[in-house]
Amino acid sequence: MFRKAPAFWEKRGPISFILWPLSLIYSAVLQIRKLFQDLGLWVGKPVSVPVIIVGNIRVGGTGKTPIVIAVAQQLAQLGWKPGIISRGYGAKTQIIPLQVRSDSDPALVGDEPVLIAKLTHDNFPIWVFPQRSQSIAALLKQNPEVNVIVSDDGLQHAGLSRWPAREGGRDIEFVVRDARGEGNSFLLPAGPLREPATRERDATLIMGSQKAEVYPDGYFLGQRAFNLTSQLGAAFQLHHPHTTLSLADIATQYLPAKMTAVAAIGNPQRFFDDLQTQGICASGIALPDHSTFHASFFDSINAECILITEKDAVKCAHIQDERIWVVPMTLAIPDTLSQWMQAILARPDPHQPSQ
């Protein structure tokens, strides 16, 4: 329903105020759920390893998937053995947890998990299922050596018991924020927020050119924020991955009127803006997140060069079109964030009684 953010979510106006009473109902539901949790009436079973949740309070993507990849890779470099779980958005209805590999069908397990598997070369066990505790159980049974879980989203998943770092635990809750911020700051459906902007978190991960210091004290509960910077790499042909072109070469070889960028991600405009900073002024086609692709769609595009994201590329394996170029994106974890995660994960398990 909300795979593509409506324009009225960004600024308060007539439509958002008409829907505002429904937001009050949604807020009441959130408060009742929190009350049940506080009273111990709705508590999931804790898992034996620490869990790092990379989530967002805004509906739609804010750049979580590349962060999940970067966090898992950084943890591996630090000597940890991470596993990854995801809900598998865009997948067919699942009845049991499923393991994901780079050659898995995105229609069955979701496009983002397949992308994670491809970009990490199947180095980490990845499992998907709406009930995240069941995914963790299946993952740990199959891979008992895993000693930390990285969850792609799941902040609002009440069935996953956790003891966050801010409460003395070793689980970590990240809220990812991009340049769109909180829009009009209303809860669903009048605005884009799944939870209030003041939601507690262990840290805020800020994607893009924003700076944490521009916000007043108290905005980020936990008083900890990290800026993450992404970088676009050389593009490669969809069906000839070894054929590459730098973005500078693409900008030189093709006229702007002959280039089109396509993105079916949470924030397509960010992809278009990133391309523009590299000198590529292509027209943009923004599609709802997790959209599927057919050859007829690309056939209808009058362009000599079509640029797509890696996430969309995993759904285009059946499409033969030499005009399609995939633009990879990488992201590095700052040393300060890496050191902080290491310190938190090294804490003793708070679920176990003290000796």
> What is the crossing angle of helices 111-119 and 64-77, to 10°?
30
Written as six digits, the tokens of 293 are: 């692709």
Place of tokens 């992201």: 331
**Is 65 marked as binding a ligand?**
yes
Write the DSSP assignment of 264-325 as a string of letters.
Answer: -SS-HHHHHHHHHHTT---EEEE--TT----HHHHHT---SEEEEEHHHHTT-TT---TTEE
CB count, 10 Å around CB of 101? Answer: 13
**Is 51 marked as binding a ligand?**
no
Q: Look at residues 310, 266, 302, 264 and name the one whose alpha carbon lies nearest to residue 285.
A: 264
**Is 59 marked as binding a ligand?**
yes
Burial of 56 (0-12, 13-18, 19+ CB in 10 A): buried
Written as six digits, the tokens of 168 are: 């003395």
**Is 63 marked as binding a ligand?**
yes
DSSP 157: -
**Is 34 marked as binding a ligand?**
no
User: How far apart are alpha carbons 234 and 311 in whole angstroms?
Assistant: 16
Place of tokens 């590349």: 66
**Is 93 marked as binding a ligand?**
no
**Is 118 marked as binding a ligand?**
no
**Is 60 marked as binding a ligand?**
yes
HEC string for 27-61: HHHHHHHHHHHHCCCCCCCCCCCCEEEEECCECCC
Known binding-site residues equal 58-65
Known binding-site residues for ATP equal 58-65
